[in-house]
Amino acid sequence: MKNESIPQNKSMLVSDFDGTITKFDFYDLVCQQFPDISGGYWHQYESGALTHFEALRLIFAGIRAPEEALLDIIRRMEIEPRITDAVSRLKAQGWDVAVASAGCDWYIRRLLAEKKVTMAVYSNPGEYFPDKGLLMRLPEPSPFLSPELGVNKVAVVRDALNRYERVAFAGDGRPDLAPALLVDPKRRFAKAWLAKKLHEINEPFIAFERWSDVAEHLLKEGPLS
């Protein structure tokens, strides 16, 4: 569904969060610290018995710990240390920046707030309760709702392509393949699984290690007139 609002800027960077803007995934760190919470849910997702969203929802709901323990985990995700400066410089050159994530905005918004970064976040809402776990919900209502993932990254990118002159995408995992293929290869950034897969299917991309590398590459293009 197209978002009819007219953006002030002419360019948009849509980025995954876990493993892209951060070094580590929240899911991986949580499962390392609480190895008993998975309950075979991820295997059920891989076999097709559960959706990606349902598997994560059930796993996150199994966490039992003081909130401070969860805050310590999200700090260990290691958000890009130069993100504040990178986003500021991108915006100065006419770029909007948005997160599109199949994770939970409970930790995404906290990490961005700690860095004093303001950007659009399309992710699954949630709240944490020490005795109930991280309760993640589908993002309803939303033009970018996906029953499978929670957030339809393809829809986010297509909306951006409808409204901006330049669109870039950065990601690292399986849910990032389809949206990455929608953008111009010279603005398609990939690492980890996504980079390997794009190489396998002979699709061009720009490899990156740190999210700030993505920003620096886009800044070299200069602003649109």
Structural domain span for residue 18:
11-22+80-221
The tens-digit pLDDT sequence of the chain (225 residues) is 344 466 777 999 999 999 999 999 999 999 999 999 988 999 999 999 999 999 999 999 999 999 999 999 999 999 999 999 999 999 999 999 999 999 999 999 999 999 999 999 999 999 999 999 999 999 988 999 999 999 999 999 999 999 999 999 999 999 999 999 999 999 999 999 999 999 999 999 999 999 999 999 999 999 887
- β pairing state of 11-15 and 95-104: parallel
- β pairing state of 145-146 and 166-171: unpaired
Note whether 113 and 210 are same-domain residues.
yes
Q: What is the CATH number of the domain that holds 90?
A: 3.40.50.1000
Side chain identity at residue 85, one-letter code: D
Let me know: does 88 contact 159? Beta carbons within 8 Å: no
pLDDT of residue 38: 85
| CA separation, residue 120 to residues 87, 108, 200, 205 (Å) | 12, 11, 32, 24
Query: Is 6 contained in some domain?
Result: no
pLDDT of residue 181: 98
Which of 59, 75, 91 terminates a domain? The answer is 75
Note whether 41 and 93 are same-domain residues.
no
Chain center to CA of 97:
11
pLDDT of residue 1: 36
Query: Is 5 contained in some domain?
Result: no
Note whether 94 and 205 are same-domain residues.
yes
Note whether 140 and 157 are same-domain residues.
yes
Note whether 86 and 186 are same-domain residues.
yes
Note whether 18 and 33 are same-domain residues.
no
